[in-house]
Structure 1
Amino acid sequence: MKFTTKLSLVAGLAAGYVLGARAGRKRYEQIAAGAQKLWQSKPVQKQAEKVMGLVDQYVPQAVEGGFSLLGKGASALTKVATKSRQRQSAAPAPTGSADNPA
């Protein structure tokens, strides 16, 4: 590829990038303005308030229930670990060796 062809290609890509970035920013701002307008509309805000009311009502119960389950799980694990330690301390000590088991 000739140098002038490479230079033309790079210049074209740079120009396309600059023009695309400007158009992209403008389009982004249009989309963002539309989304903001939609979010602030009365029907959307009414539904958002309903959802927040449900969240305020049910999340504390769910969190409390989750901690209760975690507590029960931790208690069960403690019991298993305690029984395991008791069995290990009550087990007879091994005798003999690997070459000559007794």
Structure 2
Amino acid sequence: TSQRTVDDIAALLDRYKVWLAPNQGGITMSGGEPLLQPKFVGAVFQRARAMGLTTCLDTAVCGSRAQWDWVLPHTDFVLLCLKSMCPQGYRQITGAGRD
């Protein structure tokens, strides 16, 4: 598995923004769970928006308020995959807690 930096992703976005930006295109961060890397996702989204691209967070609604606070200010759209409203149901479906 290769790892990419914020600069790597920004360079890729810069190459494609000529096609994406005029059509209100952009970038979606999905999972695993992107909120497990909130500073990285927030930084990528910040760079994308500076290029005139839209940003979308595809999340299973995991993470603390602090994690959301890193990402949400730089997010245009959120796709939620809500597994269950109650903690017991969530744990049964996913095998993990929401925190």
TM-score by length of 2: 0.18
| Bigger RCO (CA 8 Å, 6+ sep) | 2
Q: Considering only CA atoms, is the larger Rg found in Structure 1 or Structure 2?
A: 1
Answer 1 or 2: which has greater strand percent.
2
Answer 1 or 2: which has greater helix percent.
1
